[in-house]
Amino acid sequence: MAAVNTGNNLLFLIVSAMLGFMAVSGVLGWLNIRGLSVSVHLPDELYAGMKTLVSVRIENRKRFLPSFLITAAVSGIPTSFILLDPRKPQTGSLLLAFEGRGMHSMQPALISSSFPVNFFVRFTVAPVSGSFPVFPAPRASAAPLQGGKPDAGQANASSAKGYEGDLAKISDYRGGESLKLIHWRLSAKHEVFKVKELTATSDDPVVLELDLIPGGTLEERLSYCTYLVNRLVKGGRPVGLKLGERIIAPASTRLHRLKLLGELAVYGKD
């Protein structure tokens, strides 16, 4: 308007240069955020409400043009990349926390950049595929657990009855006891058979029944059960799980522990 009203050619040149500069910067900024793909690598153990380190991998799929000053935000948490060369992926990291147990899916990543001159911040959205389980937050229970100190990873004796521990006491045969537990020498001196009662060891299999775990609510019992599963399996003790009428046989591998935690994560969500 000033150039038209005054008829000053210099103002026309200045306005034209500014508009041309804005147009060129707009095109460069648009090209800068195109052709970018984002993938997120999550650890295999995610607990509700607990922050965990997540890797964000971003790749510039353009054939020739690099990308500058890129910010990728996953679930609202940003990580920045100064220079992305063509066909050379880079990885950043950030801390994420997921609220609530169950199956979750990652929201699309928001890619932004202020390149080239920070006049405007341009945005685009990159989809992030895949769903993943979030386990209940582990919570230590004050209730005693049979089996002594299972997290020690050794066959420590406990006060529970077992078949391979130390001799606890001698009692009368009640039927159903294994023949190897009968104390034959002592039984010969009495009118009834005498059997040996042995203590359990920490590596005896145990089946955790969710309905019997102490806790005021289902979520509390799930948190207590998550803590027990981690504590027992990491101590080398085979652990199984009973969820209603369903029973999962005991085992002590890491994959089995993750399977049990996955069952606790989705329990009652159907």
pLDDT, tens digit, for every residue of 115-140? 988 878 899 999 988 899 999 999 98
Q: Which pLDDT score, from 0 to 100, does residue 22 have?
A: 86
Q: In sequence order, which residues have a C-beta less than 8 Å from that of residue 156 and are 6 or more positions away? A: 148, 149, 150, 201, 202
Mean local confidence (pLDDT), 98-103:
92
Here the tokens at position 234 are 């990491």
How far apart, in whole angstroms, are the C-alpha atoms of residue 25 and residue 22?
5
Q: Tell me whether residue 109 is in a domain.
A: yes
- Is the residue at 20 inside a domain? no
Q: What is the pLDDT of residue 194?
A: 76
Is 70 exceeded by the pLDDT of residue 238?
A: yes
Pair (71, 127) in one structural domain: yes
CATH number for 39: 2.60.40.10
Would you place residue 178 in the very low, low, confident or very high pLDDT band (cuts 50, 70, 90)? low
Same structural domain for residues 93 and 41?
yes
More confident residue, 218 or 171: 218
Residues 128 and 47 in one domain: yes
R_g of the chain computed on alpha carbons: 32
Per DSSP, the three-state class of 6 is: helix
- What confidence score (pLDDT) does residue 170 get? 80
- Alpha-carbon distance of 184 to 193, in angstroms, equals 8
| Token pair recorded at residue 254 | 């890491």
Domain shared by 42 and 107, yes or no: yes
Element (H, E) at 78: strand 77-84
User: Mean of the pLDDT values across residues 16-21?
Assistant: 88
Q: Is 92 in the same domain as 47?
A: yes
What pLDDT score was predicted for residue 153? 41
pLDDT at 141 over 80: no
Question: Looking at per-residue confidence, does 163 or 255 come out higher?
Answer: 255
Range of the domain at 192: 158-200
> Is 259's pLDDT higher than 70?
yes
Q: SS3 of 216, please? A: coil
Tens digit of pLDDT for each residue in 184-227? 777 777 766 777 776 555 567 899 999 988 888 999 999 999 99
Report yes or no on 150 lying in a domain: no
Domain count, the chain: 3
Instruction: Give the model confidence (pLDDT) of 72-83 as tens digits.
Output: 999 999 999 999
Sheet with strand 52-60: strands edge to edge: 36-41, 52-60, 90-96
Of the candidates 200, 215, 234, which is a domain's last residue? 200
Give the list of residues 6+ apart from residue 176 with CB closer than 8 angstroms, or none: none
Q: Is the pLDDT of residue 149 over 90?
A: no
Q: pTM of the entire structure?
A: 0.71
- Considering the domain boundaries, does residue 26 fall inside one? no
Q: Which of 23-32, 145-154, 223-232 has the lowest mean pLDDT?
A: 145-154
* DSSP secondary structure string for all residues of 126-158: E----EEEEBPPP---SS--TTS-GGG-S--EE
